[in-house]
Amino acid sequence: VPIIQDEGVALLRQLVQIKNPIRILEIGTAIGYSALNMARFSNAIIDTIEINPESYQFASEFISKTIYKDRINLILGDALDVDLDNQYDFIFIDAAKAQYIKFFEKFKRNLNQSGIIFTDNLIFHGLVTEEIHSRNLRQLVMKIKKYNEWVVEQEDFDTYIYNIGDGIAISIKK
Ligand code: SAM
């Protein structure tokens, strides 16, 4: 299961400490590694959405054995079908790369002013800057490039893409 890289998680941990969010939304729980990191370095309630039932089950069991279990709410489903009424100070988008624009568009209304959207994998193992021969991979990389261009153009957000870990965009709602 792919999880956030060391440099990326270091930045995530520091950002949640600086921001001290009341509520965090994560899209893409996987085994719960990043959710646990965010729980450990904040006092936030964390809602985290996972589409894969096996990953959801694994993460539920993993998180239930920790002292953070009461602050992490796992939601099973496709994030694009999950409607949430909560307002968040921090949103971590870390699910299907091809859908990043859709996740961002859908959940930005749940983000408070000065809230942060954190998106990972924007360099995608360096492939965004390399020449690729597989057609599927090339299409995915095109979508990531498109997201990179799109996200910096969003006028209601102040965004910068950092060459940290696998490439991270920090977008702050104006
Ligand atoms: N955030 C995790 C971490 O760093 O520990 C890693 C998440 S992993 C890169 C991406 C996860 O997103 C996978 O477990 C995948 O099943 C899930 N996913 C993909 N598409 C999704 C969707 N539409 N809604 C919710 N989860 C999705």
48 CA distance to ligand 1 centroid (A)? 9
pLDDT reported for residue 155: 97
| Ligand 1 atom with the shortest distance to the CA of 121 | 9
- State whether the beta carbon of 2 lies less than 6 angstroms from ligand 1: yes
pLDDT reported for residue 129: 66
CB within 8 A of 37, min separation 6: which ones?
9, 12, 13
Q: How many CB atoms lie within 10 A of CB 141?
A: 20
Four-CA torsion 124, 147, 40, 6, nearest 10 degrees: 20
Q: Over the stretch 34-65, which tens digit does the pLDDT of each residue have?
A: 999 999 999 999 999 999 999 999 999 999 99
Tokens 């589409």 correspond to: 51
Q: How confident is the model at residue 5 (pLDDT cuts 50, 70, 90)?
A: confident
Q: Over the stretch 135-153, which tens digit does the pLDDT of each residue have?
A: 888 888 888 889 999 999 9
| Ligand 1 atom with the shortest distance to the CA of 28 | 12
Global pTM value: 0.94
